[in-house]
Amino acid sequence: MKPEHVDLLRQALPYINKFKNKTFVVKIGGDIAEEPANLNSFTEEVALLAQVGIRVVMVHGGGKQATDLSERLGIEAKIVSGRRVTDDRALDVVKMVFAGKINTEILSSLRKAGVEAVGLSGVDGGILDAVKRPPTKVLNDQTGKKELVDFGHVGDIVGVDVKLLKTLLDADFIPVIASLGADDEGNVLNINADTVASKIAGALACQKLILASDVDGILRGDGSLVSRATVAEVQAFIKEGVIKGGMIPKAQGILDALKDGVRSVHIINGMKPSSVLTEVFTDTGCGTMIYREG
């Protein structure tokens, strides 16, 4: 165990007692999973959560890795407002990357950290019930106009079944879920990982949803970090343009999760050492916490 982790745990006893046997959903961004050193540091912190009695579900996508593989295969990756347009070839890429390469790398890193984990996608056990997204009008950030976009094999979640997840959590496993789902015909659909994490967190009515990527949290126009924010404040940030572009779907998922019963949502920079532990086990935290009032 690293010395900084020991110091944090000494400060953390009240929080450990408070969160023991509670459920956290942790979404890990593709940037964190790209480098083995970053991934191992992050999963060590997740392992510490589990070792002090917190029930953890991990969710991941892997957009950067999918884009890199697409380029090597000569497939142009198209992203609109933070969402990947997924044609037949792009769907093959995300299946290989999400449910294959990245999922296995996270599992092996968790094993190194000394915890038992099980790799899944939203297709397994019917966790995610999704429908193909119809052509949708989306605001083009460059032109300022709305355009009709066919996202291809991209899904919208219409139902979540957490029976399998609860079975695994009760047996002290960490489920690691790739952000793929399926419809009633068995068609595999690409689903935004932040949305998957938010919907699963809501279905589990979990204590915390932690969204870890390569950003420190919500930043004001002057670059300062918003440490804490209410639902109303996040809605105002969207209206004022503080939250924009690809951050808007993330923010909407956060608000949905809080509405569904999640106690708080945290946006942290998972590239920084001890970010998970600092956010969970200290008063000051290190990212942005969004919470329900009352």
Q: What is the DSSP letter of 225?
A: B
- Identify which of 117, 58, 49, 57 has the alpha carbon closest to the alpha carbon of residue 275: 49
Per DSSP, the three-state class of 114 is coil
What gap in Å lies between CA 289 and CA 276, rounded to an integer?
12
- State in Å, rounded, how far the first CA of the chain is from the last one: 38
Residue-level pLDDT, tens digit, the chain, 294 residues: 666 666 666 788 899 999 999 999 999 988 899 999 999 999 999 999 999 999 999 999 888 888 888 889 888 878 776 678 889 999 999 999 999 999 999 999 999 999 999 999 999 999 999 999 999 887 766 677 888 888 999 999 999 999 999 999 999 999 999 999 999 999 999 999 999 999 999 999 999 999 999 999 999 888 899 999 999 999 999 999 888 877 887 898 999 999 999 999 999 999 999 999 999 999 889 999 999 876
| Amino acid letter, 3 | P
CA nearest 54: which of 8, 18, 19, 6?
19
Which ranges of the chain does DSSP label H, i.e. alpha helix? 3-11, 13-19, 30-34, 36-51, 63-72, 88-96, 103-112, 163-170, 193-204, 231-240, 247-259, 275-281
In order of 42, 94, 158, the CA distances from 274 in angstroms are: 8, 29, 35
Q: Helix (H, G, I), strand (E, B), or coil: what is residue 150?
A: coil
Are the C-beta atoms of 44 and 37 separated by less than 8 Å? no
Which pLDDT score is estimated for 116? 97
Q: Which residues partner with 219 through β-bridges?
A: 225
Backbone angles phi, psi at 44, to 5 degrees: -60, -40
Strand partners, 59: 27, 177
Question: Taking Cα atoms as reference points, which of 253, 129, 118, 100 lies closest to residue 189?
Answer: 129
Ordered by where they begin, the domains of the chain are 19-212 (3.40.1160.10)
Instruction: Return the pLDDT at 101.
Output: 94
Measured CA to CA, the distance from residue 227 to residue 27 in angstroms comes to 19
Q: Are strands 23-28 and 208-213 parallel, antiparallel or unpaired?
A: parallel
